[in-house]
Amino acid sequence: MEMPKIRGTKPLATVTPPAEAQPVPRQTQAQLVLRPAAYAPRLLPDVPRRVLEDPSDPRTVAWVAAQDARAEGVLSQVALRADIVQRVKELAPTNPPLRYESGGASFALERGSLTRTTTAGAKEVLVDATKLGVGAAVTEFAVSPDGTKVAYGVAPFGDDFTDWFVLDLQSKAQLAGPFAMKNNQLTWDHDSSGVFYNPTAPRADDERARPLGIVRYHKLGTNQANDKVVFDDPDSPAASRYVVRSAGPDAIYVVRNQGVAEIPHQTRKIERRGDVFGTHMLDMIAPGKDRGRFVHATADALWFRTSGVGDNFGVITVDATTRAQRTIIPPDPHATLLHAQMIGDKLLLQYMRRDLTNVVRIADRDGKVLREITMDELGMPGRGSLSLFSGDQRSMTTEFTYQSVTCPPETFTLDLSTLKLSKRPRAAIPFNGSKIRDSVHHVRSKDGTLIAAEVYERNDVPTKATFVFQYGAIGISNSSQWNRIHQLMLEMGFRVVLVHARGGGEAGNAFMDAGTFNKQLTLDDISAVGHWARARWPGDVQVLSGRSFGGMHTLNRLFADPEVADIFVPVVPVTDPEVFLQRQSGWWAADDFAFPRDAKGMLRRRDFRALFKLRSWNPMRLLARAKVIKPVFIFTASHDTRVGPQQSYVATDALLRKFGEQAPIFMKQHQGGHAARAELADMATFLAGRLGIDRLNRTATAV
């Protein structure tokens, strides 16, 4: 089968510490603080903001190249760089990819290719990444309910823009596609005769916040140009993404979708007669009231994970005809239900206890708990990150991964009949987690609320610097994970501190809502942990970093509370949330920025209170008032269509205009999408150069 093609200065002086790579003493940290520079001719290209907001403009391209060259001029001077690059490679995960077992055959994504192992044990490459185009890979797939076909999505460099295709598993013929989508999945009709898809707007329109809030249906074997709209977002202009779940000829449900982030429920039933879809829709669960996610549907019932039954979330069923609700998994008073999935005939439930440890429970469709799996049983630390489970309603086995700061990812297989677990083998990684000690501390935030902080530090060598990491606080837990930057920090003389700020999913719906509807509480929590770390380790140089919305938090603290750290490293950050939501690609994120919904589930985008709060902490507004700056390195990505690299361009340019091009303010763009981790080596290199670190204290060495 022929594979479808997709569309595809002068270095600043570093601070040199005393011998043995000691960090800069706290009393000399004033060296790292700069005030606005007097006007001087610009050495970098002088590009207006309106131009920088267009990543494709030739002037912007030249400006980015100049920034990359300026950053490279600093990074190339760091003697430890080659060792860091090598160590990043050595620490790469080696666990096998998740197998998606369906009807006895298993599918997997291996180095960007889609493979299948048949029931007879024969392995074949269904889609070969080497034939997809430069940087392209299969990023997602969905097996048809009857097991005869597979839909797969292809993207370049991890871009959120994905082209989906449908492949016949017997003939290997391409049956349909491409279906252009952004950050969303194609789903199957109940009888495998067609697919539902949420077509994306063209890139230019997406970047200017003009999305398509529609879902189309494609009947296999028909002309794709004639695909009919089966759903049109009544919240116009579109404010959400949607997917369709088909459980039977009369059981077609359109679901508001935000991935793993938490937003208010909305699931509607669509009328259907054959291939004709009606315009009347029926809410299956109260819109705009409770948070949670759709879990599963059959012709008779739907399952939801919801906060409607209690703050820690539980699972309900809804009768498909009467809409009567029944609680089958009540909330656990001591643990938050983070995820619920239906794989095969089992409910798989992931919980986080209040001590931040994980537990998995397996229940039948009526909610009877059949088994509990602790991380001790897996031979893994209790605090870490579980992946979602693989598989579908035809699966007899499922797989998942688990990882932590002290332990690389491991892949586990669960037999859904016997409920027995096994760990799949992996190649050894030269890292010794026994040389890391961890602890949990509770820090009082500005309003008195206790916030958890995880601390990881070496027990065999001195620790002389602190790396504080926080994430986006959008219903997702900032759990311990094999991040590689964390492992590098531990080998460069840092301790790692993970902030569990309000807005995250760690401690129930109220904890999450507090930070969602008042972002300042999240920012206060980050500062509280940062200042607690300052007081606990007063001789340390301290770094604050975060990704995505966490990068936005990092920049906010740089301008609003610069004493919380000595160096700031935002990665793929939102820098101006007002522009992001109103003029660029962030139209889908209004729920994450506290814009409320009414009783009908419609977004109130012009809510004055939400807009006022947003303006009060917007990093770009704070930058205009900033009096001092500290070293900052912003990392962005060429194919980041989730946030848009222009957010980083504009902030970097504004910083350099205000504080001068001799200030330690840098930006580098790597090739990749929003979730790429290409910045790891350069981030560690920058910190090594800044702090005069000249060697790695490896926990173990490669053989």
Task: Measure the CA–CA gap between 403 and 480, rounded to whole angstroms.
Answer: 8
CATH number, domain with residue 683: 3.40.50.1820
Task: Measure the CA–CA gap between 662 and 73, rounded to whole angstroms.
Answer: 13
- Please write the tens of the pLDDT for every residue from 644-672: 999 999 999 999 999 998 899 999 999 99
* Helix 646-659 and helix 58-75, axial crossing angle in degrees, nearest 10: 70
The mean per-residue pLDDT over the stretch 177-185 comes to 91
In a domain, 361, yes or no: no
Q: If pLDDT is split at 50, 70 and 90, which confidence band does 10 have?
A: very low
Task: Measure the CA–CA gap between 399 and 110, rounded to whole angstroms.
Answer: 15
Q: If pLDDT is split at 50, 70 and 90, which confidence band does 602 have?
A: confident
In a domain, 458, yes or no: yes
pLDDT of residue 439: 97
The mean per-residue pLDDT over the stretch 638-648 comes to 94
Task: Measure the CA–CA gap between 703 and 698, rounded to whole angstroms.
Answer: 13
What tokens were used for 661? 């091009």
Contact 586, 605 (CB under 8 A): no
Least confident stretch, 113-122, 197-206, 358-367, 448-457 = 197-206
Q: Round the average pLDDT of the chain to a whole number and report it.
A: 91
Task: Measure the CA–CA gap between 102 and 104, rounded to whole angstroms.
Answer: 5
Q: Is the pLDDT of residue 389 over 50?
A: yes
Phi first, then psi: what are they for 391, rounded to 5°?
A: 120, -175
Type of residue found at 100: Y
Query: 30 CB contacts (<8 Å, ≥6 apart)?
Result: none
HSE (CB half, 13 Å, CA atoms) of 100?
19
Residue 289, class by beta-carbon neighbours within 10 Å (0-12 exposed, 13-18 middle, 19+ buried)? middle
What tokens were used for 535? 């007081």
**465-470 and 541-547 beta bridge pairing:** parallel
Q: Is the pLDDT of residue 616 over 80?
A: yes
In a domain, 683, yes or no: yes
Q: What is the percent of the chain where pLDDT is above 90? A: 77
Task: Measure the CA–CA gap between 292 and 242, rounded to whole angstroms.
Answer: 15
- Please write the tens of the pLDDT for every residue from 251-277: 999 998 877 678 888 899 999 988 889
The SS3 assignment for 537 reads coil
pLDDT of residue 17: 31
Q: Is the pLDDT of residue 230 over 80?
A: yes
**Which neighbouring-strand residues pair with 504?**
502
Residue with tokens 């920049």, as numbered in its chain: 555
Residue with tokens 């059949």, as numbered in its chain: 370
Cis peptide leading into residue 178 (ω within 30°): yes
In a domain, 214, yes or no: no
Q: What secondary structure, in 3-state letters, does 598-613 show?
A: CCCCCECCCCHHHHHH
- Please write the tens of the pLDDT for every residue from 41-77: 677 888 999 999 999 999 999 999 999 999 999 999 9
In a domain, 57, yes or no: yes
Q: If pLDDT is split at 50, 70 and 90, which confidence band does 524 have?
A: very high
pLDDT of residue 702: 79
Q: If pLDDT is split at 50, 70 and 90, which confidence band does 37 have?
A: low
pLDDT of residue 532: 98
Residue with tokens 């003389």, as numbered in its chain: 493
What tokens were used for 260? 């793993």
What tokens were used for 586? 């962030």
Most confident of 9-23, 198-212, 394-408: 394-408
Closest C-alpha among 228, 135, 124 to residue 169: 124
In a domain, 699, yes or no: no
The CA radius of gyration of the chain, in Å to the nearest whole number, is 25
Give the Cβ contact number of residue 456 at 10 Å.
25
In a domain, 655, yes or no: yes
How many distinct structural domains can be found in the chain?
1
In a domain, 224, yes or no: no
Distances (CA, A) of 472 to 111, 448, 657: 28, 22, 28
**228-232 and 194-197 beta bridge pairing:** unpaired
- Please write the tens of the pLDDT for every residue from 474-520: 888 999 999 999 999 999 999 999 999 999 999 999 999 999 999 99
Contact 462, 455 (CB under 8 A): no
Q: What secondary structure, in 3-state letters, does 38-101 show?
A: CCCCCCCCCCCHHHHCCCCCHHHHHHHHHHHHHHHHHHCCCCCHHHHHHHHHHCCCCCCCCCEE
Query: 82 CB contacts (<8 Å, ≥6 apart)?
Result: none
Where residue 377 falls (left for φ over 0; alpha for ψ -120 to 50; beta otherwise) is alpha
Contact 358, 382 (CB under 8 A): yes
Contact 687, 23 (CB under 8 A): no
The mean per-residue pLDDT over the stretch 674-685 comes to 93
Query: 4 CB contacts (<8 Å, ≥6 apart)?
Result: 132, 154, 163, 165, 174, 177, 178
The residue segments making up the domain with residue 627 are: 26-77+430-691
Closest C-alpha among 193, 212, 213 to residue 202: 212
Task: Measure the CA–CA gap between 84 and 695, rounded to whole angstroms.
Answer: 9
The separation between the first and the last C-alpha atoms of the chain, rounded to the nearest angstrom, is: 41
